[in-house]
Amino acid sequence: MVLKFRLISNEQDDFIRDIEILDDQTFFHLHEAIQDNLHFDKSQIASFFICNQQWEKEQEITLFELSEEESAKVLVMDHTKIGDFMQGTHDKMLYVFDVFNERLFFIELVEILKQDPSKSYPCCSFEKGHPPQQVYMDSIFTSKLQEENLPLADTSLDDEMFDDEDLDRLGFDQQIFDDSFPDEE
């Protein structure tokens, strides 16, 4: 059985992708198909969330196991078959492609098809518009440095590279860093 999913974005009104995938393939296969089609950097963290009809998150399926304690609660993409969770048209999920900024795609199962032996699955069967741009934490930091005309070439983090005034100008709160590490005694 082939599941046809439609991806839309709340950031790009004209963006649509239809991805067809076999029901016995994994969420990792779907993740790879999305990443390949959109030319995203595959090294970035991503998660799927199975949702109810109101788009409320019910079950997370992550790219990799986060910790042994959470492994019973959280499923991993490459071990979880799509057909185990998505079985009827209008089933919904979210694909969070930017975990740190909570950027995502809304995904709905729009059609169940018979397998076409001439096709290789998963595949993109329809595309319209441009996807939202993938943003990386290091690119945000670099753009802040460029805005402030601070040096980019020297990436060694010595004490003299940035002073407190530079961090303030960039919008970084030193107290956050200080609170993160207990005082050494």
Domain residue limits, the chain = 2-128, 137-180
pLDDT above 50: residue 85? yes
Can you name the residues that pair with 170 across neighbouring β-strands? none
Give me the torsion for CA of 7, 9, 14, 16, rounded to 10°: -10
User: What is the pLDDT, as a whole number, of residue 152?
Assistant: 47
On whether the CB atoms of residues 110 and 12 are closer than 8 A, the answer is no
* Percent of all residues in the chain with a pLDDT value above 70, rounded to a whole number: 69
What is the pTM assigned to this prediction?
0.71
Q: What are phi and psi of 90, to 5 degrees?
A: 80, 5
- Tens digits of per-residue pLDDT, 87-127? 899 999 999 998 888 889 999 999 999 999 999 999 999 99
- Tens digits of per-residue pLDDT, 147-157? 556 554 444 44
Domain spanning 2-128, CATH architecture: Roll (3.10)
Q: What are phi and psi of 120, to 5 degrees?
A: -105, 130
Rounded CA separation 108/116 (Å): 21
Residue 25: count other Cβ atoms within 10 Å of its Cβ.
18
Local confidence band at 146 (pLDDT 50, 70, 90 cut-offs): low
What would the mean pLDDT of 133-147 be, rounded to a whole number? 57
* Percent of all residues in the chain with a pLDDT value above 90, rounded to a whole number: 57
